[in-house]
């Protein structure tokens, strides 16, 4: 009996050591998403599994070290790619960037229109909702907005709109919806959040260095 207990204990200790080693070397690890930057695809507080063995590809979610914090982003461009945003549309190498995932944007409506949309069930109550006078601003999933035929109500900043955070980072009078063009440098990535009006991504923090890439979300 003692021999069986000894073998089981040894096997358990071996499993623990293997698990600690896997996590320490980043082969497989879990990361907690702490922001709404990647909604609707990764919720606040959601745990994701990631690995540093998987090769990072375009459209992958990646985990990166940004000023000592572990942040999750959508990888959108590689070294040599040309990125530009015009009227809220993202262009990659001169063409609108294709995407096969959901995104979120800010939308605005009159109070009455918003109430009608909610009461009719066309949309759910928007997140981060706030009101200015008779107008309502809220975040909606773009696919839901298109289905409800209200995509035209998406909030898009005009080129003259000032965004101090972006201007300070890039030393240009750009904003989140009118940005670039920029060429991604060697050993770097351009990343975005899926929640496009509520993400501190490469528009605000600059390129992500390849050396700061911790893992690719599985």
Cα dihedral 70, 74, 78, 82 in deg (nearest 10) = -120
- Is 153:108 a contact under the CB 8 Å cutoff? yes
Say whether domain 29-80+186-217 belongs to CATH 3.40.50.720. no
Q: What is the pLDDT of residues 35-88, one digit of tens each?
A: 999 999 999 999 999 999 999 999 999 999 999 999 999 999 999 999 999 999
Average pLDDT, the chain: 89
Parts of the chain belonging to CATH 2.10.109.10: 29-80+186-217
Three-state SS for 216?
strand
Alpha carbons 33 and 44: distance in angstroms, whole number: 6
Alpha carbons 160 and 178: distance in angstroms, whole number: 9
Q: How confident is the model at residue 1 (pLDDT cuts 50, 70, 90)?
A: low
Q: Is the pLDDT of residue 107 over 50?
A: yes
Q: What is the pLDDT of residues 116-154, one digit of tens each?
A: 999 999 988 766 888 888 999 999 999 999 999 999 999
Alpha carbons 187 and 101: distance in angstroms, whole number: 25
Q: Name the DSSP class of 185.
A: P
Tokens of 51: 């690995």
């Amino acid at each position: 009996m003692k021999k069986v207990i000894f073998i089981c204990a040894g096997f358990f200790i071996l499993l623990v050591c293997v698990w600690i080693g896997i996590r320490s070397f980043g082969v497989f690890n879990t990361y907690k998403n702490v922001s709404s930057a990647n909604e609707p695809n990764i919720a606040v507080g959601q745990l994701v599994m990631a690995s540093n063995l998987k090769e990072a590809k375009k459209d992958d979610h990646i985990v990166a070290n940004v000023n000592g914090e572990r942040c999750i982003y959508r990888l959108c461009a590689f070294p040599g790619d040309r990125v530009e945003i015009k009227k809220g549309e993202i262009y990659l190498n001169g063409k609108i960037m294709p995407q096969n995932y959901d995104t979120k944007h800010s939308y605005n409506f009159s109070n009455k229109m918003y109430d009608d949309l909610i009461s009719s069930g066309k949309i759910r109550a928007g997140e981060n909702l706030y009101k200015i006078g008779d107008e309502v601003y809220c975040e909606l999933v773009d696919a839901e907005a298109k289905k409800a035929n209200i995509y035209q109500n998406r909030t898009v900043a005009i080129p003259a709109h000032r965004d101090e955070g972006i201007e300070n980072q890039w030393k240009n009078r750009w904003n989140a919806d009118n940005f670039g063009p920029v060429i991604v440098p060697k050993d770097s990535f351009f990343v975005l959040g899926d929640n496009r009006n509520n993400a501190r991504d490469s528009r605000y923090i600059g390129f992500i260095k390849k050396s700061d890439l911790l893992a690719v979300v599985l």
